Amino acid sequence: MTKIIWQQGELIEVTIADLSDSGDGVGRADERVVFVADTVPGDRALVRLAHVKPKYAHAKLQKLLQPSPHRIRPACIVADKCGGCQWQHINYDYQLVAKQNQVIQAMERIGGFTQPPVDRVLAAGSALGYRNKSTYPLGKSVTGQVQAGYYQKGSHQLINLNQCPVQDSRLNPMLAEVKQDIQRRGWQIYDEQRHLGQIRHLSLRIGRHTGEMLLTLVVKDWNLPEIATQAQEWLKRYPQLMGVCLNRNGDRTNAIFGLETRCIAGVPHLCEQFAGLEFQVRPDTFFQVYTETAEALLQVIQSQLNLQGHELLVDAYCGIGTLTLPLAKQVRQAIGLEVQAAAVEQAIFNAQRNEIDNVTFQVGAVEKLLPKMGTIPEVVILDPPRKGCDGAVIETLRQLKPSQIVYVSCKVATLARDLKLLCEDGQYKITRVQPADFFPQTAHVEAAAFLVL
């Protein structure tokens, strides 16, 4: 049988059967896989082939022939253009099913686990209006108007927003009005192609429980005329605004924040309540974007660990102590390990603020600090960045043999890879994997895996 040759630009019909971990619909045609953005399992669609490979192709949706029962009208009027969300056209119940499947498939295909114990996804309390932080690139329209938003899917074209349905609604007035203030001041928007101009990004942050806010402009250098005057105006206009900051990023880079932040008016932090404790959060602090779901996952961790008060707990990749401090209240001693000195400084402050004195924090790479512990912890919490754990961390844990490990991950592919190594030769057993939805309307899923000897 001669295999049909696909041509770029060709129209084909496809039925979507699954979703990829990047959020695209996945279908099959002529014994090959087709990835199609903006589609839902159950859709029958006419698609145009865009990038053709021998065994698969990427295509663009041209016409919906029969919509999936899981398809809904997006809440956002620019959802079909904006790259901030991938799944606003999918009903929320099915988003949760898809995310659970994503975890199961990673555990099976990458981890090699048979029938992994993956629970239903811990659902968000609200699928909209949840983000406690939004950072928008800035641009200019063809008529010279200041714009802020997200880039169009698959392009570098800015989609201008005056409000965003997934960010905390209390931030929406600032998004619309700050653009007007930048326009009025005549501040130049950064042009990344020519490395000219001044303001690169607008970052807004809010304490979900306290309502306190931060406004940060990411700039190429510190020379922003009349910023002090404008900062005072913002503080007067927005009663919950605690501080206005500048972050300097003078490099030609895709990174948003630079290394140095200055407070122009107010204070350089907001206060937030998390799990009954008070935390200080700065403009560039890592703090989970969905506060309430993070608290719910913490409750699952506390319940599953069943701490008795005599344990030594190590929280690797501890950040500002978001997990360390609530868990420290339930153990004999807690130790946090973190490579970023600024985060450790905040963690120490947060411990003192909450009068938690059985916790210490160490600055350094986890793969270097963990082997030097000098004692064996009963419990280890792992919450690494997307790239997962360094191989030396996995090897050290297999040597130390803590009785319980909790691995919290924002990328299930690296989670499955590392769990496979930890469970090699049957040393550790996975008792439960709890996915959690920290990013409704997107393909991202968080998961906590629980391991015992």
Catalytic residue IDs = 410
Place of tokens 């329209």: 141
Query: Distance (Å, rounded) from C-alpha 30 to C-alpha 153?
Result: 27
Helical residues (DSSP H) of 212-313, grouped into ranges:
227-237, 291-305
Are 217 and 201 contacting, i.e. CB atoms less than 8 angstroms apart?
Answer: yes
Nearest CA among 241, 322, 331 for reference residue 283 = 241
Helices and strands counted in the chain (H then E): 9, 21
Rg of the chain over Cα atoms, rounded to whole angstroms, equals: 24
Whether the Cβ atoms of residue 264 and residue 246 lie closer than 8 Å to each other: yes
Q: Where are the beta strands (DSSP E) in 256-364?
A: 260-266, 270-274, 277-281, 312-316, 333-338, 359-363
Residue among 439, 174, 134 at smallest CA distance from 283: 134
Give the angle subtended at the CA of 101 by the CAs of 97 and 106, to the nearest 5°. Answer: 155
Copy the structure tokens of residue 2: 């001669």
Q: How many CB atoms sit inside 10 A of residue 152's CB?
A: 15
Helix (H) or strand (E) holding 183, with range, is helix 172-185
Contacts of 197 (CB under 8 A, 6+ apart): 188, 189, 190, 191, 220
Q: Could you tell me the two tokens for 340?
A: 């970023």
Q: Contact, 445 vs 296, CB < 8 A?
A: no
CA distance 387 to 111: 15
